[in-house]
């Protein structure tokens, strides 16, 4: 069965300096199912060379056909390239001759777009062609001599009359996917949207996800052993796949006698029977991802390799089962060698530290840095990404790292060790979750993040299951039961980490502002500083009122008191400090607020007031938090000398003000505010957390603008004064006759 769903037609001009080969490499990695080499300016000899190179790059993961050049396809085949067929136009070589020369298994497509074309195809001997390329759908610059565009409805009418699968081609973009699929398209032939894409891999993945449909559930196959206790093996895999939003399937490699305490016996069915399982699934079901676990011996491993080479599933994750927790090797030498061959077919391998040492040919890593070095070497050796798991490290931390030598990617994922004995099947569950999250269309780092969050949630709930006397299983569906959905609920600590990282670019922007740098080194113009204080005084007056709204909406007495005290502190404490600079000797008075509010100040207060008006307590306190958090963070780092030692000097012109930034009582209030907001976010549903995060992020952006505004105001004032002086001087000059 030919997968025509995403059909890439190459264009050397659109591929540009990257070249056809690199675009194809990325697009196939993103899920392109068939590649058609089209290069009208190339000679036959050049086409042959391109086919050979593309055959190596594709490596059977997608079908490879060539446009028009039947002789080039035959020559490339003769030189060992895998060329699956040709696509011919109405005026090209006879399709009957192409079938005769390429054989019954070749893929032969034919361009068609009229009723006469369809009648001619019907007159051909059965089995001559496999599909029709129907178009153009829309006008396209890549084929300026195209016929009149069919449009979606014209394609629908043609497809309804055709007995052959119809692939839509010509001006097809991602927004056409749903309509063309509904119109009966067997696939989409895409040129510009992939060849000219900044990231062909991401573009291809987006097309495939759209083709499956927004509500489509990825079909994920586990090839692994059985655990009758339900905690590991295919039983854990199926739960993991389901909990992460996939449809799970299983081909069993071994039957075990085990419980939570020990494995008592293993029975390995004949490898031929495993192949029958795999073939039965592939013949009937489009498999979106494969997770591979326990493979008991070399014959079983070679059987799986042969099946992978025939089917080429788009995503393959291998969780190597090689070393027992005791450190004992579980496989014979020939099986280990075969397993290494299997890893070269994988997209991701997920070893623990013991398995990593075996695969990398090294001693077990003594620390996390050494483990990452081993993973980098292994990734380069296998040509696959590696997720190295740090669960065997001692200490409170249990990190993971995603390593991909091909893209020079090393992304670490920190995490505190979860104190639990319910760890049975953790590796099986994580690898299955990764395969599923990837099949949902996420890039690997995003998939790792989602899978780890789910796993950590399930680990925390495992003990409560009370399954067995040994190491019990994780609770795969704890989150689903608690939420009634698939979105994970982060802990308060995770909210804090994620939100702080979410505004990392905003924080970096604040650090680099000329106002902050000049404030730290003492070169800030006094006029700009006074302008800042004037605007901050106006802001605090409005901010205090919004804090009072938070106190009014607070659900507990403790929170009510906290926000009310914060409002009082803004007026009595902070404004008095402002008055010492703005109205010295006069205290807080109307003169303290005599400045006109800037557009920046007004925008920030409008944001807070509108959030308060909505009446959502959690969203409101999220909007209030950046004023606590960013000021405390900045004050701490100023006080620590991270912006230069002069910021700590009593001789600094703004020393008294800088001292207030690092006030410990305000730091304590900030810690309490963070706790209230993070707790509210952790207790909220996904939609509520999203609203909170948006309010928080918007306030952080307003903080950045607030710090930037004094010097921008100062510059604009200078320009206005210079302009006024120029006009005044001109007015005094005598008129020239």
Ligand-binding site membership of 36 (annotated)? yes
Q: Which of 30, 135, 425, 635 is catalytic?
A: 425
Distance, in Å, from the CA atom of 528 to the CA atom of 714, rounded to the nearest integer, reads: 6
Q: What angle do CA 207, 212, 213 make, to 5 degrees?
A: 95
Quote the tokens at residue 572: 């009595």
Ligand-binding site membership of 111 (annotated)? yes
Q: Is 80 a catalytic residue?
A: no
φ, ψ for residue 234, nearest 5 deg = -65, -30
Ligand-binding site membership of 192 (annotated)? yes
Distance, in Å, from the CA atom of 704 to the CA atom of 512, rounded to the nearest integer, reads: 10
Distance, in Å, from the CA atom of 133 to the CA atom of 162, rounded to the nearest integer, reads: 12
Q: Is 245 a catalytic residue?
A: no
Ligand-binding site membership of 347 (annotated)? no
Strands 263-267, 247-258: pairing is: antiparallel
Q: Which of 245, 389, 506, 611 is catalytic?
A: 389
Q: Is 425 a catalytic residue?
A: yes
Q: What angle do CA 288, 414, 393 make, to 5 degrees?
A: 100
Q: Which residues of 380-407 are buried (b: 16+ CB within 10 A; e: fewer)?
A: ebbebbbbbbbbebeeeebbbbbbbbee
Q: Is 426 a catalytic residue?
A: yes
Q: Tokens 């280990």: give the residue.
A: 336
Instruction: Examine residue 136 and say whether the peptide bond preceding it is cis (omega within 30 degrees of 0).
Output: yes
Distance, in Å, from the CA atom of 91 to the CA atom of 71, rounded to the nearest integer, reads: 16
Handedness of CA 387, 393, 397, 398 (dihedral sign): positive
Q: Which of 109, 246, 293, 427 is catalytic?
A: 427
Q: Which of 371, 313, 317, 303 is nearest to 349 (CA)?
A: 317
Q: Which residues of 420-432 are buried (b: 16+ CB within 10 A; e: fewer)?
A: bebbbbbbbbbbb
Ligand-binding site membership of 37 (annotated)? yes
Ligand-binding site membership of 610 (annotated)? no
Distance, in Å, from the CA atom of 678 to the CA atom of 673, rounded to the nearest integer, reads: 9
Handedness of CA 496, 498, 504, 505 (dihedral sign): negative
Using the 8-state DSSP alphabet, how is residue 597 labeled? P
Ligand-binding site membership of 565 (annotated)? no
Q: Is 128 a catalytic residue?
A: no
Distance, in Å, from the CA atom of 355 to the CA atom of 324, rounded to the nearest integer, reads: 9
Quote the tokens at residue 222: 């586990």
Checking 391-397 for CB contacts under 8 A at 24+ apart, the result is 391/352, 391/353, 391/426, 392/352, 392/353, 392/354, 392/364, 393/353, 393/367, 393/368
Q: Is 389 a catalytic residue?
A: yes
Rg (CA), the chain: 33
Ligand-binding site membership of 244 (annotated)? no
Q: How far is CA 247 from CA 1, 116, 216, in A?
A: 21, 43, 10
Ligand-binding site membership of 40 (annotated)? yes
Q: Tokens 């009582």: give the residue.
A: 665
Q: Which of 426, 436, 449, 600 is catalytic?
A: 426
Q: How far is CA 28 from CA 76, 202, 281, in A?
A: 20, 10, 23
Q: Which of 166, 195, 209, 428 is catalytic?
A: 428
Distance, in Å, from the CA atom of 224 to the CA atom of 235, rounded to the nearest integer, reads: 9
Ligand-binding site membership of 171 (annotated)? yes
Ligand-binding site membership of 735 (annotated)? no
Q: What angle do CA 690, 696, 700 make, to 5 degrees?
A: 140
Q: Which of 315, 547, 497, 351 is nearest to 430 (CA)?
A: 351
Q: Tokens 């052959």: give the residue.
A: 164
Quote the tokens at residue 109: 């497509």
Report H helices in 68-199. 70-78, 95-102, 115-122, 151-161, 177-182, 192-195
Using the 8-state DSSP alphabet, how is residue 30 labeled? H
Q: What angle do CA 674, 676, 679 make, to 5 degrees?
A: 100
What is the biggest distance separating any 2 CA atoms in the chain, rounded to whole angstroms?
Answer: 112
Ligand-binding site membership of 379 (annotated)? no
Q: Which of 128, 423, 491, 636 is catalytic?
A: 423
φ, ψ for residue 289, nearest 5 deg = -160, 155
Q: Which of 385, 328, 383 is nearest to 351 (CA)?
A: 385
Binding-site residue numbers are 36-40, 67-68, 92, 111, 140-143, 171, 191-192
Binding site per annotation, positions for Mg(2+): 68, 92
User: Which residues are known catalytic residues?
Assistant: 389, 423, 425-428
């Amino acid at each position: 069965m030919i997968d025509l769903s995403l059909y890439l037609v190459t264009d050397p001009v659109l591929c540009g300096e990257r070249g056809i080969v690199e675009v194809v490499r990325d697009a196939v990695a993103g899920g392109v199912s068939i590649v058609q080499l089209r290069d009208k300016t190339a000679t036959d000899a050049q086409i042959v060379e391109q086919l050979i190179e593309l055959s190596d790059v594709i490596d059977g993961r997608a079908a490879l056909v060539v446009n028009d050049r039947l002789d080039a396809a035959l020559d490339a085949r003769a030189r060992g390239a895998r060329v699956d067929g040709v696509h011919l136009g109405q005026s090209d070589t006879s399709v009957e001759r192409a079938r005769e020369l390429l054989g019954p298994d070749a893929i032969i497509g034919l361009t068609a777009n009229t009723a006469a074309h369809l009648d001619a195809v019907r007159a051909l001997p059965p089995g001559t062609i496999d599909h029709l390329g129907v178009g153009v759908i829309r006008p396209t610059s890549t084929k300026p001599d195209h016929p009149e565009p069919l449009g979606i409805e014209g394609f629908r009418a043609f497809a309804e009359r055709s007995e052959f699968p119809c692939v839509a081609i010509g001006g097809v973009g991602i927004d056409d996917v749903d309509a063309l699929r509904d119109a009966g398209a067997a696939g989409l032939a895409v040129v510009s949207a992939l060849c000219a894409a900044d990231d062909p891999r991401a573009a291809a993945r987006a097309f495939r996800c759209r083709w499956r449909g927004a509500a489509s559930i990825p079909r994920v196959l586990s090839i692994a052993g059985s655990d009758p206790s339900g905690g590991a093996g295919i039983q854990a895999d199926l739960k993991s796949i389901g909990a992460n939003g996939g449809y799970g399937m299983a081909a069993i490699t071994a039957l075990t006698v085990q419980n939570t305490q020990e494995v008592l016996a293993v029975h390995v069915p004949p490898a031929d029977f495993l192949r029958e399982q795999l073939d039965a699934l592939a013949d009937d079901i489009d498999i979106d991802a494969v997770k591979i676990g326990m493979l008991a011996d070399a014959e079983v491993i070679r059987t799986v390799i042969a099946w992978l080479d025939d089917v080429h599933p788009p995503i393959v994750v291998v969780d190597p089962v090689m070393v027992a927790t005791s450190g004992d090797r579980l496989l014979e030498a020939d099986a280990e060698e075969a397993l290494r061959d299997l890893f070269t077919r994988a997209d991701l391998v997920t070893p623990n530290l013991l398995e990593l040492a075996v695969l990398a040919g090294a001693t077990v890593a003594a620390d996390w840095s050494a483990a990452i070095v081993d993973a980098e070497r292994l990734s380069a050796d296998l040509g696959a990404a590696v997720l190295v798991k740090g669960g065997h490290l001692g200490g409170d931390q249990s990190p993971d790292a995603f390593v991909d030598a091909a893209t020079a990617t090393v992304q670490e994922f920190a995490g505190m060790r979860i104190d639990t004995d319910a760890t049975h099947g953790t590796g099986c569950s994580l690898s299955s979750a990764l395969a599923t999250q990837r099949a949902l269309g996420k890039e690997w780092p995003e998939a790792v993040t989602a899978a780890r969050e789910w796993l950590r949630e399930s680990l925390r709930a495992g003990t409560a299951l009370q399954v067995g006397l040994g190491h019990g299983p994780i609770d795969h569906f704890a989150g689903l039961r608690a939420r009634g959905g698939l979105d994970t609920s982060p802990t308060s600590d995770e909210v804090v980490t994620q939100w702080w990282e979410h505004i990392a670019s905003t924080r970096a922007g604040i650090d680099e502002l000329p106002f902050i740098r000049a404030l730290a080194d003492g070169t800030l113009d006094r006029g700009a500083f006074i302008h800042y204080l004037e605007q901050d005084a106006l802001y605090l007056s409005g901010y205090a009122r919004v804090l009072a709204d938070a106190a009014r909406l607070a659900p507990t007495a403790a929170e009510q008191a906290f926000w009310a005290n914060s409002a009082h502190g803004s007026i009595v404490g902070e404004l008095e400090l402002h008055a010492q600079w703005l109205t010295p000797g006069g205290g807080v008075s109307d003169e303290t607020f005599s400045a006109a509010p800037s557009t920046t100040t007004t925008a920030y207060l409008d944001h807070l007031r509108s959030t308060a008006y909505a009446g959502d307590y959690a969203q409101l306190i999220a909007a209030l938090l950046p004023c606590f958090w960013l000021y405390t963070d900045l004050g701490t780092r100023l006080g620590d000398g991270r912006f230069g030692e002069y910021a700590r000097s009593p001789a600094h012109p703004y020393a008294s003000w800088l001292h207030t930034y690092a006030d410990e009582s305000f730091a304590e209030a900030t810690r309490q505010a963070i706790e209230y907001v993070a707790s509210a976010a952790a207790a909220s549903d996904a939609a509520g957390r999203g609203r909170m995060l948006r309010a928080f992020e918007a306030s952080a952006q307003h903080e950045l603008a607030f710090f930037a505004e004094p010097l921008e105001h100062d510059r604009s004032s200078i320009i206005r004064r210079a302009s006024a002086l120029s006009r005044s001087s001109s007015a005094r000059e005598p008129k020239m006759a």
